[in-house]
Structures are given as structure tokens and as C-alpha cells.
């Protein structure tokens, strides 16, 4: 199996610095993944997963929902996410490393919403998978190069990566492919890259790509893309 996937997102309009509000805070200062723990949200956006769905997301990727102790161990080495997610046993919370007015009530530690009695509530998920490869995440930087895990080596089988790209209102996203080589089959069912222009699975679908032909540039109509 062959595979390299490599492309960059450029801002259509780079005016103004990105201001984090209570969105997911991912930047280079804090880790997006630590001690095997990582954050996941539904492809349809923030706070859309029931407990059963959150559990399924982690298990689909070969892990399970993180325990409070695993989340705290990750937090201690810099894992900071401003979005509440399901943990094991139906607990909900999020890890805060740096106190801020916008998130975590100005405190550091795990912001703990406790064990939820209503498992139909919708939150994000905190997964634990010590063997998982760095893959996917939420990106808000003005320019970013995405690589398949292990690039320039071949990617591994049975991996699913979701990259969410969000920019400010009024900005657009340009995807520019630098290198692309994904196992080819007639319907792109084995390995593929899918691009979405919004979080809508149907109307936001831009295309599915495989093979080794470099896709044309893709420019979003709005301020987010999902890959």
C-alpha cells in the first residue's frame, strides 16, 4: 500500500488575528494530545455526542473514553482544551492548564461537571488510546501543512483522521495539495480523503479523493472545512 497525503490551507483573507472565545483552544503552546488522551467532537460540530456516541467514537479509533485520572495525567503535562467532553463512567469535564476568563472559571484543573444522570446530553469526547497515532484535530492557524501520520513514510491501515479547519467570520479557506498518493480503487472505497465545506454531511460534501493525481485547489464558501 502506498500513501502520502500532504496539503496546506491558506487563508483567503488574512486580516486580523484569530481571537479565541469559548471555542476549542488548540494552539502550539498547549498540547493537543498528551499521555494517550485526545479530544474528539462530532463531525457535525461541538457538543453533539451522547454518551453512547462518544464511547463509540473512541472505540472506533481503537481506544476508549478516558478516565478522570487519565485526563488529569494529560493535563499535568500540558493538555488544555476548552470544551466539555464525556469521560469514562458518564463523567463530563475538561482540562484547563492555563487560567483564563473565557474558559474554566479562571481556575486550573479538571473542570468537573460530575457523573451525568442523563446520558442523552450532548458533549464532546475525551478518548484514551496510548497506541494511537497523532492524527486529526481542530486547526485555526492562518497557514497549516497537514500530513498523514508517519509522512513521508506510508500511512498505516485502519486509521481515521478528521481535520477541522475554522477561520474567522468573513475569511475563507484555500486547500492546496502539495503531494497526494492514496491507494486507488474505482469507487474510492478503500482509502480516501473526503472534503466537506461545512459540517453538513450532505450539502457540504465537496468530494472524495484517492489515487495519485493531485486534486485541484479547493476554496471554501464559508469559514470552515472538514477533512
Ligand X SMILES: *[C@@H]1O[C@H](CO)[C@@H](O)[C@H](O)[C@H]1NC(C)=O
Q: How far is CA 181 from the centre of its chain?
A: 22
The contacts of residue 43 (CB under 8 Å, 6+ apart) are 162, 196, 199, 201, 226
Size of the site for ligand X (CB under 6 A): 8
* 121 scored as a contact of ligand X (CB under 6 A): yes
* 80 scored as a contact of ligand X (CB under 6 A): no
* 53 scored as a contact of ligand X (CB under 6 A): no
* 120 scored as a contact of ligand X (CB under 6 A): yes
CB of 141 to ligand X, least distance (A): 13
**Span near ligand X by CB under 6 A; candidates 9-17, 80-88, 105-113, 114-122:** 114-122
* 203 scored as a contact of ligand X (CB under 6 A): no
Residue 150-189 contact track with ligand X, rule CB under 6 A, x = bound: ----------------x-xx--------------------
* 105 scored as a contact of ligand X (CB under 6 A): no
Q: How far is CA 159 from CA 132, 220, 223, in A?
A: 9, 25, 27
* 222 scored as a contact of ligand X (CB under 6 A): yes
* 45 scored as a contact of ligand X (CB under 6 A): no
Q: Which is nearer to ligand X, 28 or 118 (CB)?
A: 118
Q: Which is nearer to ligand X, 3 or 125 (CB)?
A: 125
Query: Grid coordinates 479523493 are at which residue?
Result: 209
11, 185 in Cβ contact below 8 A?
A: no
- With CB under 6 A as the contact rule, the residue among 17, 101, 118, 158 that binds ligand X is 118
Q: Is 180 helix (H, G, I), strand (E, B) or coil?
A: strand
Q: How far is CA 196 from the centre of its chain?
A: 14
Radius of gyration (Cα) for the chain, nearest Å?
A: 18
If we measure between CA atoms, which residue out of 56, 67, 46 comes closest to residue 126? 67
181, 5 in Cβ contact below 8 A?
A: yes
Return residues touching ligand X (CB under 6 A): 118, 120-121, 166, 168-169, 222-223
Amino acid at each position: 500500500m502506498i500513501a502520502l497525503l500532504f496539503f496546506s490551507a491558506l487563508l483567503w483573507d488574512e486580516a486580523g488575528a484569530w481571537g479565541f472565545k469559548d471555542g476549542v483552544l488548540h494552539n502550539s503552546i498547549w498540547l493537543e494530545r498528551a499521555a494517550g488522551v485526545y479530544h474528539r467532537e462530532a463531525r457535525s460540530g461541538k457538543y453533539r455526542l451522547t454518551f453512547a456516541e462518544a464511547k463509540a467514537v473512541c472505540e472506533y479509533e481503537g481506544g476508549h473514553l478516558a478516565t478522570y485520572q487519565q485526563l488529569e495525567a494529560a493535563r499535568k503535562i500540558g493538555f488544555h482544551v476548552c470544551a466539555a467532553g464525556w469521560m469514562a463512567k458518564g463523567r463530563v469535564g475538561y482540562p484547563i492548564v492555563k487560567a483564563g476568563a473565557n474558559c474554566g472559571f479562571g481556575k486550573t484543573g479538571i473542570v468537573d461537571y460530575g457523573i451525568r444522570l442523563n446520558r442523552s446530553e450532548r458533549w464532546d469526547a475525551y478518548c484514551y488510546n496510548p497506541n494511537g497515532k497523532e492524527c486529526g484535530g481542530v486547526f485555526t492557524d492562518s497557514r497549516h501543512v497537514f500530513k498523514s501520520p508517519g509522512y513521508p513514510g506510508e500511512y498505516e491501515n485502519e486509521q481515521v483522521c478528521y481535520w477541522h479547519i475554522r477561520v474567522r467570520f468573513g475569511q475563507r479557506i484555500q486547500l492546496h495539495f502539495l503531494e497526494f498518493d492514496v491507494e486507488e480503487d474505482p469507487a474510492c472505497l478503500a482509502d480516501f480523503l473526503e472534503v466537506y465545506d461545512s459540517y453538513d454531511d450532505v450539502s457540504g460534501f465537496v468530494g472524495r479523493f484517492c489515487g495519485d493525481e493531485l486534486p485541484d485547489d479547493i476554496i471554501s464558501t464559508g469559514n470552515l472545512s472538514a477533512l
